[in-house]
Amino acid sequence: MLKDRTEGGVIYFDNAATSFPKPQCVSEAVMHYMTKIGANPGRSGHKMSVEAGRIVFKARKSIAALFGLRNPMRVIFTSNATEALNMAILGVLEKGDHAITSSMEHNSTIRPLHEMEKKGIISLSIIQADKTGILDPDKIRKAIRANTKAIIINHASNVVGCIQPIREIGKICRENGVIFIVDCAQSAGIVPIDIDQDNIDILAFAGHKALYGPTGTGGMVIADRFDFKRIKPLKYGGTGSLSDKIEQPDFLPDRFESGTLNVAGLSGLLAGSEYIRHRDGGIERILEHKTELQKYFIQKAEMLVEDFCCFSSAQLPSTGVVAFKLNKFSVSEIAQILSDEYGIMCRQGLHCSPLAHQTIGTFPEGTLRFGFSIFNNKEEIDFAVQALKSISEGKQT
Ligand SMILES: Cc1ncc(COP(=O)(O)O)c(C=O)c1O
C-alpha cells in the first residue's frame, strides 16, 4: 500500500517546480509569524518589529551557513530565483560587455541575456552542452574574450537533473577575471555548495524548491570576496534605513532590498533551511537519496515499460530529476492520465528551457519530468512504473 502522505493520497513528483509537502516545521513557522508576530522588520522600534527583524536575520544566517558564506548580510532576499538572476545579470552587465552562458539554461537566465543582446547592450555566446546536458569547461575557456564580463550557468539542470562541473568552470573564471554567476535553483539543498571553494561570485537560489520554503522565496548571495558595488541595484526605494536621505543606501543588504520583505515566507524558509542543514547525513545524504531514486526509477521503467525512452542518466550523481517519454503517446496525454487516473503529479513540456530541450533532442514537444523530493520513496516509484506500464499497454483504469 502507498503511504497516504496527504489527504488526497497523491504522489507528488513535481518537486523540481516547487516542493510538496513541506516539512511541518515550515508551515508552523509561517503560522507563528502570521499569528504571533506579523510586523514589518527593520521599520519600527517596537517589540514585534524587532522580532520580525530577528527572524529575517536568522534566515540570512541559515542561508549563509548553507553556502559557506561568512557574512550573512551578503544574502539578499528576493521573491524567487528568477528575480535573483535578473538582479545579478542586469546589475553586472554593461554596454559593450560580452557574456557566456550555456544551452542548458532556464529562461530566467536566457531571457534577460537575450533581451540585453537584442538591445545591443551586450554580445552573448551560448556554449553547447553534450546530449546528456553536461558542459565541457574547455569550450567555455575558449569562448572567453577580452571583454567577457560574466559567465552565467546553472549548477544543476531542471530538465535532466545533471550536475555541472562548476568548481572547474569557476576556476577558469577566476583565472580570467570573469564574474561567475551560478543559478543554483535546482541544486541548493541537494548538492553541497561552498561559495568560496566553488569559485562562485554571485549565486541565485530558490527558497521554495529543495530548501522546502514557501513559494515567493529566493535570493541572491554575494561571495565574501566579491566587490558588491560591481552590482547595480535593480530596485530603489524604502529600506527602513537612512530615511533622511533620498539616496539609495550603499551598504548590504539594503542596497538591493527595497520594500517590505516576505517575512511570512522567510519564516518558512528559515525553518526549511534549518531542517535540511540538520537532517541526518546532511546534504551529502540528500544527494545520495536523490541519485538513488533516479537510478531506481530509470532502471525499473527501462525493464518494465516497453516504450520508455529516457533522457536522464542512471549512472551519474543527480538531483533526482528525470526527463522521459513513452514513444506511443504525447507527453501531455500521459501527464493528464497520471494526474487524473493515478493521482501522480508531474510536469510535461519544455520546463521553461527550450534550448535545453533542443540540446537533448526533445524540442518542441518536450518530455515528462519526474522530480523527486526527500519525502519520495521506492514504493511510490514502483506504483508510478506500474502506472506507466499500464498506460503504455493501453490498460489504464
Ligand atoms: C534551473 C532553474 N533556474 C531558475 C528557475 C526559476 O526559479 P523561480 O521559479 O524560483 O523563479 C528555475 C525554476 O524552475 C529553474 O529550474
Nearest ligand 1 atom to the CA of 83 is 11
Q: What is the pLDDT of residue 5?
A: 46
**Residue 259 and residue 118 share a domain:** yes
**Residue 120 and residue 79 share a domain:** yes
**Residue 209 and residue 131 share a domain:** yes
**Residue 256 and residue 214 share a domain:** yes
Q: What is the pLDDT of residue 6?
A: 47
CB-CB contact of 258 with 237 (8 Å): yes
Residue 243 lies in a domain: yes
Judge if the beta carbon of residue 367 lies within 6 A of ligand 1: no
pLDDT digits (tens, 9 = 90+) for 39-75: 999 888 999 999 999 999 999 999 999 999 999 999 9
Instruction: Give per-10-residue mean pLDDT for the chain (397 aa).
Output: 56 98 98 96 91 98 98 98 98 98 98 98 98 97 98 98 98 98 98 98 98 98 98 95 94 97 98 97 96 98 97 95 95 96 95 95 96 97 97 80
Judge if the beta carbon of residue 290 lies within 6 A of ligand 1: no
Judge if the beta carbon of residue 186 lies within 6 A of ligand 1: yes
Q: Which of the listed residues 104, 108, 202, 347 should we mutate to test ligand 1's pocket, taking the one with most ligand atoms within 8 A of CB?
A: 108
Residue 106 lies in a domain: yes
Which of 277, 312, 330 corresponds to the end of one domain? Answer: 277
Nearest ligand 1 atom to the CA of 85 is 4
Q: How many angstroms does the Cα of residue 144 sit away from the middle of ligand 1?
A: 26
Residue 306 lies in a domain: yes
367-371: strand order across its sheet: 308-310, 321-326, 367-371, 347-349
Domain with 324, as residue range(s), is 11-23+281-392
Q: Whose CA is nearest to atom 12 of ligand 1?
A: 185
Judge if the beta carbon of residue 158 lies within 6 A of ligand 1: yes
Q: What is the pLDDT of residue 130?
A: 97
Q: CA quadruple 232, 235, 238, 243: dihedral positive or negative? A: positive
What's this model's pTM, rounded to 2 decimal places? 0.96
What residues does 181 pair with on adjacent strands?
152, 202
pLDDT digits (tens, 9 = 90+) for 309-326: 999 999 999 999 999 999
**Residue 203 and residue 120 share a domain:** yes
Judge if the beta carbon of residue 187 lies within 6 A of ligand 1: no
**Residue 217 and residue 187 share a domain:** yes
Cα–Cα distances in Å, from 269 out to 50, 53, 81, 219, 265?
Answer: 19, 14, 14, 11, 6
Residue 397 lies in a domain: no
**Residue 118 and residue 186 share a domain:** yes
**Residue 247 and residue 289 share a domain:** no
Judge if the beta carbon of residue 162 lies within 6 A of ligand 1: no
CB-CB contact of 397 with 390 (8 Å): yes
Q: CA quadruple 137, 142, 146, 149: dihedral positive or negative? A: negative
CB-CB contact of 15 with 209 (8 Å): yes
**Residue 232 and residue 111 share a domain:** yes
Judge if the beta carbon of residue 15 lies within 6 A of ligand 1: no
What's the domain count of the chain?
A: 2
